[in-house]
Amino acid sequence: MTIHPSLRPASSSAFVETIQKHAKLLIPPIVCTAVLLTVWQLLCLAPDTKMPGPIRVLQQTYELILNPFYDDGGTSKGLGWQIWISLQRVMIGYSLAAIVGIALGVLIGMSQFMRRGLDPMIQVLRTVPPLAWLPLALGIFQSSDPAALFVIFITAIWPIVINTALGVQQIPQDYNNVAKVLRLSGREYFFNILVPSTVPYVFGGLRIGIGLAWLAIVAAEMLKAEGGIGFFIWDAYNAGNENSMSEIIIAVLYVGLVGLALDRLVSYLGSLIVSEN
C-alpha cells in the first residue's frame, strides 16, 4: 500500500494511472496519520506521563493483537471474542429497536393524533444519553445482560422512529391519489405504496441507529457484564496494571473500527434494497 508509484516499473500506463489515482487518495491520510503518531510519541516522551506512546502501546499489546481468539475461560478472552460478544448484544438490542421503531414510526407517520401525542416524549427521550439509562435499566431488570440490551435498544430506537415517521409523511401526494382513485385496501396500500416509498428513509434511520447502538456498547457493558469489548475496557481499567492503558487504547481503536464497519454494512444493505426499487 505504501509503495511509491515511481518505484513501480511502468509496464502499462493504465496501471500507473490507477496507482497514481489511488496514491492521491491514500497519501494525505497516510501523511496525517504519521504526523499524528509522531506528535503523540513525542508528547509521551515526557518523563512522568501515564499515557503510553504508540510504540509502547504496540509493545504492550502485540500479544493481544496477534491472538484475538484465545479463550482462558470465564471473561478472559481475546479481543475478537470480546467484540463478538458485544456484536451479539448490539444485534439483539438493535433488531428489537428496528422492529419496534419501524412499527412505531409507521403509526406516528399515519396518525396525526399519535404524532402530536408522542412527539414531545420522543423529543425529550431521544436526548437522554446511554449512560443515564443504565442505572434505571439495572434497577428494573436486576441483571446486567438484559440491562445492557435495554440500553442499546433505547439508544438506537429514536432515529429509527423519527425517520420512519418522516418517510411515511412524505409519501408523494401523487401516489396517495392513485391509491384513492383505485380505492386500494389497507393491505395493498401498505405493501405497494407505503413500504417501498418509505424504505430509503427507514434505512437512513437504521444507519444512524446502528451507529448509536454501537456507541452505547461501552456504557451498556460498564457494570457486571459477562464479557464484551466494553467490559474489556472497564476490566482493563479496573485491573490498573502497567499494560492497562495500552490495552484500553487498542480496545478503543477496535470499537471505532467495528463501528465504521457496521455503518458501512448497513448503508450497503440499504443501497442494495433502494437500488432494487
* Shortest distance, position 200 Cβ to other proteins, whole Å: 11
Asked whether the beta carbons of 229 and 173 are under 8 A apart, the reply is: no
Per DSSP, the residues of 200-248 read HHHHHHHHHHHHHHHHTHHHHTTTT-SS-HHHHHHHHHHH--TTHHHHH
Q: Which of 5, 200 has the CB closer to other proteins?
A: 200
Q: Which of 39, 182 has the CB closer to other proteins?
A: 182
Cell for 268? 450497503
Q: Which of 95, 192 has the CB closer to other proteins?
A: 192
Taking CB under 8 A as the criterion, the residue among 71, 119, 188, 226 binding other proteins is 188
Is 20 a binding residue for other proteins by CB under 8 A? The answer is no
Taking CB under 8 A as the criterion, the residue among 13, 174, 240, 242 binding other proteins is 174
Is 136 a binding residue for other proteins by CB under 8 A? The answer is no
Is 186 a binding residue for other proteins by CB under 8 A? The answer is no
Taking CB under 8 A as the criterion, the residue among 54, 80, 196, 270 binding other proteins is 196
Is 192 a binding residue for other proteins by CB under 8 A? The answer is yes
Is 180 a binding residue for other proteins by CB under 8 A? The answer is yes
Tally Cβ neighbours within 10 Å of residue 55: 12
Q: Which of 50, 183 has the CB closer to other proteins?
A: 183
Per DSSP, the residues of 147-196 read HHHHHHHHHHHHHHHHHHHHHHHTS-HHHHHHHHHHT--HHHHIIIIIHH
Q: Distance (Å, rounded) from C-alpha 171 to C-alpha 174? A: 8
Q: Which of 33, 185 has the CB closer to other proteins?
A: 185
* Shortest distance, position 193 Cβ to other proteins, whole Å: 7
Q: Each residue of 26-50: b (16+ CB within 10 Å) or e?
A: eeeeeeeeeeeeeeeeeebeeeeee
Asked whether the beta carbons of 144 and 223 are under 8 A apart, the reply is: yes
Is 277 a binding residue for other proteins by CB under 8 A? The answer is yes
Q: How many residues bind other proteins (CB under 8 A)?
A: 17
